[in-house]
């Protein structure tokens, strides 16, 4: 046997590797739904196992505890959004509008994933105890958005203005859709508005596109003077009455 080769008995069959990867992906898919629906505190590993059709120890084989599974679920959602956005801006056209369209398509198709993100934004408790695992993907996402903003700024000939910051752009855009989709039941109960109806979705899509333009336009305008910067009667020099 060649030096350094793996003994046949210790090799993992390709079928087992594929099965393990498929099972892990299925666990993440179900975990995203359960965490999105019930939150970190309310979610139970036993429920995730039941939905997948396995026992609790099989879940713990892939993810040793609930926090690890939660981290992996959040990371999977951010990875998916990042890949979709990068794919969207690779096509010719208005990139910021493409990002908005891609985002609304995602949250409409994955409402429980949207609710999971909203829960995490509101209460980051489960991720405070350890380093957030979404860092690399989040940085790729923000970098892609910033490139689209810079391209729009260059196209609109804004000079040295870099436009709105990618983090601010992403926060404003995402929060609008997360509440629109993830809060659908509460909104319908309180206001009688079904935010997931076809007409409502189209209105929201048009609103996001208009919001993109407003965000870019707002970054072009000079900042308004704050009360502290505005002249007061005592700060205005007296007029010399002499000719």
Is the distance from CB of 116 to CB of 38 less than 8 angstroms? no
Q: Is residue 63 part of a domain?
A: no
Percent of the chain with pLDDT over 90: 50
With b for 16 or more beta-carbon neighbours within 10 A and e for fewer, the 156-181 pattern comes to eeeeeeebbebeebbeebbebbbebb
Q: Is residue 139 part of a domain?
A: yes
* CATH number of the CATH domain containing 121: 1.10.357.10
Q: Is residue 110 part of a domain?
A: yes
Q: Is residue 144 part of a domain?
A: yes
Among all chains, which residue has been given the structure tokens 């601010």? Answer: 168
End-to-end CA distance of the chain: 108
Is the distance from CB of 164 to CB of 216 less than 8 angstroms? yes
Q: Is residue 192 part of a domain?
A: yes
Q: What is d(CA 186, CA 183) in angstroms, rounded to the nearest whole number? A: 5
| pLDDT tens string 134-192 | 678 889 999 999 999 888 877 766 555 556 899 999 999 988 898 888 888 888 889 89
Q: Is residue 231 part of a domain?
A: no
Q: What is d(CA 240, CA 243) in angstroms, rounded to the nearest whole number? A: 8
The DSSP call for residue 233 is: G
Non-local CB neighbours of 117 within 8 Å, separated by 6+ positions? 74, 77, 174, 178, 182
Among left, alpha and beta (phi > 0; psi -120 to 50; other), residue 125 is alpha
Q: What is the pLDDT at residue 37?
A: 93
| pLDDT tens string 39-64 | 999 999 999 999 999 999 999 999 99
For the chain, the average pLDDT equals 81
Domain of 116 in residue numbering reads as: 75-222
Q: What is the pLDDT at residue 6?
A: 46
Is the distance from CB of 178 to CB of 107 less than 8 angstroms? yes
Q: Is residue 52 part of a domain?
A: no
Is the distance from CB of 76 to CB of 28 less than 8 angstroms? yes
Would you tell me how many other CB atoms lie within 10 Å of the CB of residue 105?
14
Of the candidates 88, 99, 95, 78, the one whose C-alpha atom is nearest the C-alpha of residue 205 is 99
Q: What is the pLDDT at residue 238?
A: 52
pTM of this prediction exceeds 0.85: no
Structurally, how many domains does the chain consist of? 1
With b for 16 or more beta-carbon neighbours within 10 A and e for fewer, the 136-152 pattern comes to ebbebbbebbbebbeeb
Q: Is residue 174 part of a domain?
A: yes
3 state SS of 38? helix
């Amino acid at each position: 046997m060649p030096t350094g080769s793996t003994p046949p008995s210790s090799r993992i069959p390709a079928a087992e590797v594929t099965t393990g990867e498929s099972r892990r992906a299925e666990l993440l898919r179900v975990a995203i739904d359960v965490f999105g629906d019930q939150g970190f505190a309310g979610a139970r590993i036993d429920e995730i196992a039941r939905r997948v059709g396995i026992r609790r120890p099989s879940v713990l084989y892939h993810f040793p505890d609930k926090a690890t599974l939660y981290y992996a679920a959040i990371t999977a959602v951010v990875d998916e959004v990042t890949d979709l956005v990068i794919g969207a801006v690779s096509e010719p056209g208005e990139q910021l509008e493409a990002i908005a369209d891609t985002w609304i398509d995602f949250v409409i198709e994955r409402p429980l994933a949207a609710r999971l993100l909203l829960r995490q934004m509101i209460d980051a408790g489960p991720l405070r105890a350890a380093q957030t695992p979404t860092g690399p993907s989040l940085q790729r996402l923000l970098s892609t958005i910033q490139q689209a903003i810079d391209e729009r700024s260059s196209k609109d000939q804004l000079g040295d203005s870099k436009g709105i910051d990618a983090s601010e752009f992403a926060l404003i855009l995402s929060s609008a859709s997360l509440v629109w989709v993830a809060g659908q039941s509460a909104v319908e109960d309180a206001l009688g508005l079904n935010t997931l109806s076809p007409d409502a979705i189209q209105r929201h899509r048009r609103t996001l596109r208009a919001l993109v333009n407003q965000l870019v336009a707002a970054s072009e305008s000079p900042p308004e003077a704050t009360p502290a910067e505005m002249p007061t009667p005592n700060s205005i020099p007296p007029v010399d009455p002499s000719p």
